[in-house]
Structure 1
Amino acid sequence: MSETFLPELPQELWRAGELELAHGVKQFLQVMRVASAAMGRFLAEIESRGSKDLYGYGSTAAWFADVAGLSRGEAQSVVKRAIALNPTRGLDGSEVPAVAPTTGAVAAEGLIGEHRIDQILDILKRLPADTSAEDREHAEKVLANLARDAGPRQVAKAEEDILGWLDPDGNEPKDPEPKQPRREVTLERRRDGFWKLTGLLDDELGARTAAALEAYAKPRPVDEFGQADLRMKCERQGDAWAELLDLAVACPDQPGTSGYRTLVHVTIGLEELKTGIGKACLDFVGTMTARDARMAACDCLMLPVVMNAAGEPLDVGRLRRFVTPGQRRALNIRDRGCAFPGCHRKPKNCHAHHIHHWADGGPTDLRNLVLLCGFHHRLIHHGDWQVRMAADGLPEFIPPQYLDPLRRIRRNTLHRAPA
């Protein structure tokens, strides 16, 4: 057994940089996995000799539970894993081969942990009963070698491919009685102004919903400034729900909207709309900040009702200030997605932002419009970034001084080759 050294732990961990912290975690993770695999070989040897003869215990799991301070069930899982990955000997002294020897070799290198090992062992149990020893060995090698670099989803996908290869006909189909789908959705407004959405979905619709949310809830990639997406999963799914709702409302066949992105009425004072300071009344039932109303008015996610100081309506959603379908198509062709530097979002996930806000007299034409995804739309309205139209008719962005003291102009080169 090769000797394994523990990585050196910095005396003042709080001084460690991000690369040193990540390297330390990976080193200790490998040491833990190598140690676990090595301990498994000891447990397999104790199983071969017999824990009763060695220590007076009825089983290796019972002995290990006392030694490690584990419950009998926890110890049993460790021992089963050890026996599956390592060869043992029978009562007559003959060798009993390991169930998953390749997986054991990969585990000994510290490349996979107990969760991936258990996943592979579970897959091997589900192979058809008539699978030959040669095919079973090949399947285990494929799974073990894949698990070196792959995650649980890739291994699960490999299981589908292996089962399709070993049993192309699958199980004999059953024809149960069809059930009426059970789908319930409840939406209620809380006293604090938030809305609570709860539901109960049947398996098929639940899977479709999960797939749709997952597609739009992926973390944003690290941008060119090294900023990562710090949203929790629930927050990413909330933003994904908003994007899916925008796509549905923008559909030309959508009842009641005909493809316009208008959803609700926002009543706001003219001065509040110009300055972005203050409150707006949301559909006569709640409130939103004037800054959010100003951003929403860019792409008619809201239908603004602008009031003067005397409370008289000045502008009740004048549609000529909103982006027309023709302008939207032209924007999609020109920007090809979110124009913010480094953003990969497609046109269907973007809003049309007024560079010079129409509340300040900005026109609704292509020279004053730019496509931005929801995140970067908020960043432009609420942050220190600036956007302007260049001489070549394409948008360009100026970062805040804390990101770039020289405030050098940037463009998104993901959707088109740089000039």
Structure 2
Amino acid sequence: MSETFLPELPQELWRAGKLELAHGVQQSLRVIRTATAGLGQFLAEIESRGVKDLYGYGSTANWFADMAGLSLGEARPVVKRAIALNPTRALDGTEVPAVAPATAAVAAEGMVGNERIDQILEILKKLPAETSAEDRTSAEKILADLARDAGPRQLAEAEANLLAWLDPDGNEPKDPEPKEPRRELTLERRKDGFWKLNGLLDDEAGARTAAALEAYAKPRPVDEFGQADLRMKCERLGDAWVDLLDLAIACPDQPGTSGYRTLVHVTIGLEELKSGLGTACLDFVGTMTAREARLAACDCLMLPVVMNAAGEPLDVGRLRRFVTPGQRRALNIRDGGCAFPGCHRKPKHCHAHHIDHWVDGGPTDLRNLVLLCGFHHRLIHHGDWEVRLAADGLPEFIPPQCRDPLRKPRRNTLHHT
């Protein structure tokens, strides 16, 4: 084994030119690789003699890990590479030839690093079992010579060519056993009334989920008042999740809902619901304000449960559907989407809003209904905007005085020419 030395460094490295710097890197790499190859020869010899007899360890990798201050995971590939590149001896003293002697020779010259060595060893494993010793030797020499100057891509191309030469028919095709996709989801209600959603998706399901959420999480366009969408990305994704949930619930084939948007069990008196004061219970899992219940009741199933002062149920009303499928189709045609000025949301993302709320005696007919997306539905219920049907039967919106002192009625012109 030849003796190697580190290249001499100039006393002031900052004075070195670009060629001198490049030469220094090349020389340092060569010294490191040559020293690594020499280390492999020592490890192969220890493996041949038996590390248990020499040092009392169960494996060469365990001894090397302690000697070098490495983890076992770091030491194992070094020892494995050393045994593959160098000849060893069996227990009876017979020599075990190296798996890749040509690669070992190139490594000893400092011309190839560990990454390319491992790549060559992996390629050799893929050669057909019936490959002759002569063909295997030739293939390894081709790869070793190529590795002097080639990168990983060139070696991968050489692998394809070698396999095509040695095994032109390839392996017999067989259908792999499909793996069960790993998908997890947990949903729990926190003490503050919010729900915490955690999940783990496989790559395909995650990509589909991300694509669906991104499609509905785009910022809303700037409205005619110059108001931009100020929601953060996480907030837009949360609203997109609700949009997708509404779409799923509205599907006629949806189990348990049959196309109904929401089933609300109102466990307060109807008078309280009319006044907007008090609380309601949503599907017996949590509370919501009466004001929120009024919003949900626009386009859902409502099951009123009338309570007395002591909290005893007096009567459970019958399930009532507020907007019929025919009315919904007519609304979709008339409004073309969210009717709020400047909103681009399509009908499938909209709720049917009662202009005069049903709890206030408003009828469920087209003259009292308008399509609104979730955002503008909340704005109408909780803000100072007003909506009405004009003389021509189309909805128009009156802004609050703080937005327009003249309160000029406005319409959405995006859905119809």
Q: TM-score, normalised by structure 1?
A: 0.57
Offset of residue 225 of structure 1: 0.7
Offset of residue 193 of structure 1: 1.8
Offset of residue 280 of structure 1: 1.6
Aligned in 2, Cα 1:185/1:55: closer, same or farther, shift over 3 Å? closer
- In the alignment, the residues of structure 1 paired with residue 358 and residue 399 of structure 2 have an alpha-carbon distance, to the nearest angstrom, of 23
Indicate if the aligned counterparts of 1:305 and 1:317 stay in contact, CA closer than 8 A: no
Aligned in 2, Cα 1:200/1:294: closer, same or farther, shift over 3 Å? same
Offset of residue 262 of structure 1: 2.5
Aligned in 2, Cα 1:358/1:238: closer, same or farther, shift over 3 Å? same
Q: Does 1:316 align with 2:317?
A: yes
Q: TM-score, normalised by structure 2?
A: 0.57
RMSD after superposition:
3.3
From 1, 4, 16, the counterpart of 1:53: 16
Please give the secondary structure, in 1, of the residue aligned with 2:247.
Answer: helix
Offset of residue 233 of structure 1: 1.3
Residue 396 (structure 1) aligns with = 396
Offset of residue 272 of structure 1: 2.5
Indicate if the aligned counterparts of 1:269 and 1:280 stay in contact, CA closer than 8 A: no
- In the alignment, the residues of structure 1 paired with residue 188 and residue 387 of structure 2 have an alpha-carbon distance, to the nearest angstrom, of 38
- In the alignment, the residues of structure 1 paired with residue 174 and residue 219 of structure 2 have an alpha-carbon distance, to the nearest angstrom, of 40
Residue 213 (structure 1) aligns with = 213
Residue 181 (structure 2) aligns with = 181
Aligned in 2, Cα 1:59/1:384: closer, same or farther, shift over 3 Å? farther
Offset of residue 189 of structure 1: 1.6
Aligned in 2, Cα 1:184/1:364: closer, same or farther, shift over 3 Å? same
- In the alignment, the residues of structure 2 paired with residue 302 and residue 218 of structure 1 have an alpha-carbon distance, to the nearest angstrom, of 32
Indicate if the aligned counterparts of 1:280 and 1:289 stay in contact, CA closer than 8 A: yes
Alignment of 1:134-213 (within 5 A): 178-213=178-213
Offset of residue 127 of structure 1: 10
Please give the secondary structure, in 1, of the residue aligned with 2:187.
Answer: strand
Indicate if the aligned counterparts of 1:51 and 1:57 stay in contact, CA closer than 8 A: no
Offset of residue 271 of structure 1: 2.7
Deviations 1:137-168 (A, max 9, x none): xxxxxxxxxxxxxxxxxxxxxxxxxxxxxxxx
Offset of residue 283 of structure 1: 2.2
Indicate if the aligned counterparts of 1:51 and 1:59 stay in contact, CA closer than 8 A: no
Aligned in 2, Cα 1:54/1:236: closer, same or farther, shift over 3 Å? same
Residue 351 (structure 1) aligns with = 351
How many aligned positions are there?
264
Q: Does 1:360 align with 2:323?
A: no
Counterpart AA for 1:53: A
Residue 7 (structure 1) aligns with = none
Aligned in 2, Cα 1:127/1:292: closer, same or farther, shift over 3 Å? farther
Alignment of 1:231-250 (within 5 A): 231-250=231-250
Q: Would you identify which runs of 4 or more consecutive aligned residues in structure 1 move more than 4 Å?
A: 54-60, 125-130, 173-177, 301-304, 306-315
Please give the secondary structure, in 2, of the residue aligned with 1:388.
Answer: strand
Indicate if the aligned counterparts of 2:304 and 2:317 stay in contact, CA closer than 8 A: yes
Counterpart AA for 2:16: D
Residue 331 (structure 1) aligns with = 331
- In the alignment, the residues of structure 1 paired with residue 288 and residue 191 of structure 2 have an alpha-carbon distance, to the nearest angstrom, of 14
Please give the secondary structure, in 1, of the residue aligned with 2:370.
Answer: strand
Deviations 1:247-297 (A, max 9, x none): 111111111111111234232322321122222222223111111111000
Residue 43 (structure 1) aligns with = none
Alignment of 1:9-88 (within 5 A): 52-53=15-16, 58=21
Indicate if the aligned counterparts of 2:389 and 2:396 stay in contact, CA closer than 8 A: yes
Indicate if the aligned counterparts of 1:399 and 1:409 stay in contact, CA closer than 8 A: yes
Indicate if the aligned counterparts of 1:187 and 1:197 stay in contact, CA closer than 8 A: yes
Counterpart AA for 2:403: L
Counterpart AA for 2:374: G
Aligned in 2, Cα 1:306/1:393: closer, same or farther, shift over 3 Å? farther
- In the alignment, the residues of structure 2 paired with residue 317 and residue 226 of structure 1 have an alpha-carbon distance, to the nearest angstrom, of 46
Identical aligned pairs, as a percentage? 80
Offset of residue 56 of structure 1: 12
Indicate if the aligned counterparts of 2:273 and 2:359 stay in contact, CA closer than 8 A: yes
Offset of residue 177 of structure 1: 5.3
Aligned in 2, Cα 1:392/1:316: closer, same or farther, shift over 3 Å? same
Counterpart AA for 1:351: H
Counterpart AA for 1:181: P
Residue 167 (structure 2) aligns with = none
Please give the secondary structure, in 1, of the residue aligned with 2:219.
Answer: coil
Deviations 1:39-83 (A, max 9, x none): xxxxxxxxxxx95435999479x9xxxxxxxxxxxxxxxxxxxxx
Between structure 1 and structure 2, the one with the greater Rg is 2
Q: Does 1:255 align with 2:255?
A: yes
Please give the secondary structure, in 1, of the residue aligned with 2:267.
Answer: strand
Please give the secondary structure, in 2, of the residue aligned with 1:243.
Answer: helix
Residue 268 (structure 1) aligns with = 268
- In the alignment, the residues of structure 1 paired with residue 301 and residue 198 of structure 2 have an alpha-carbon distance, to the nearest angstrom, of 24
Deviations 1:162-212 (A, max 9, x none): xxxxxxxxxxx9986532111111112222222111111110011111111
Aligned in 2, Cα 1:51/1:57: closer, same or farther, shift over 3 Å? farther
Indicate if the aligned counterparts of 2:338 and 2:372 stay in contact, CA closer than 8 A: yes
- In the alignment, the residues of structure 1 paired with residue 228 and residue 155 of structure 2 have an alpha-carbon distance, to the nearest angstrom, of 47
Aligned in 2, Cα 1:126/1:234: closer, same or farther, shift over 3 Å? farther
Aligned in 2, Cα 1:272/1:57: closer, same or farther, shift over 3 Å? farther
Counterpart AA for 1:345: R
Segment of structure 1 superposing worse, 300-309 or 219-228: 300-309
Indicate if the aligned counterparts of 2:217 and 2:239 stay in contact, CA closer than 8 A: yes
Aligned in 2, Cα 1:297/1:315: closer, same or farther, shift over 3 Å? farther
- In the alignment, the residues of structure 1 paired with residue 360 and residue 154 of structure 2 have an alpha-carbon distance, to the nearest angstrom, of 70
Indicate if the aligned counterparts of 2:266 and 2:281 stay in contact, CA closer than 8 A: yes
